[in-house]
Amino acid sequence: FSSHWCYEQFIQYRTMKRARDIRDQFVGLLDRVEIDLVNNPHDHVNIRKAITAGFFYHTARFTGDGYKTVKQKHTIYPHPNSCLSEALPKWVIYHELVYTTKEFMRQIIEIESKWLLEVAPHYYKEKEIEYTTEKVSRNKGKSRAELEPSEGV
């Protein structure tokens, strides 16, 4: 990639260069421990599991009114600019919290709760984790009258 290509694609050149440097660092680490690099662009599950292993202590569960951190039960919300602010997966891992009008999670990915017991059995107990990956409907908690279209309008 070039700076001109990044400009045309509306991508920051410095960010793209940093991503390439991080990738090169990972490739070097894999080579050092003799793990073959498998290039499968459709294998996002292993990537999400790896992120879960690194950020397992930044886990939150959807409760119907925002998310609660698993250990401290602190209420947090997906940042409004996040693509997951509408999807509302049951379990997420986040990178950081920022406080504006509320406490918001940034850099969020959806995870499966069972991964937490796989990657951090020393931190999570089975009773804290329920095995579910369903997304929660935006209509949850609304009355039938609110959901049904009004007649004669």
Could you tell me which residue, 92 or 145, shows the higher pLDDT? 92
Angle ∠(104,109,115) on CA atoms, nearest 5 = 120
Q: Specify whether the CB–CB gap between 106 and 63 falls below 8 A.
A: no
For 66: left if phi > 0, alpha if psi spans -120 to 50, otherwise beta; the answer is left
Which residues share a beta bridge with 105? 78, 97
pTM, 2 dp: 0.64
- For residues 93 and 56, is the Cβ–Cβ distance under 8 A? yes
**Residue 143: what pLDDT?**
44
What residue segments make up the domains of the chain, in order of their start? Answer: 1-37, 40-138
Structure confidence at residue 109 (pLDDT): 93
- pLDDT tens per residue across span 26-69: 888 888 888 787 777 778 888 898 899 999 999 999 998 899 99
Q: What is the pLDDT of residue 131?
A: 52
Q: Give the confidence band of 149 by pLDDT, cuts at 50, 70, 90.
A: low
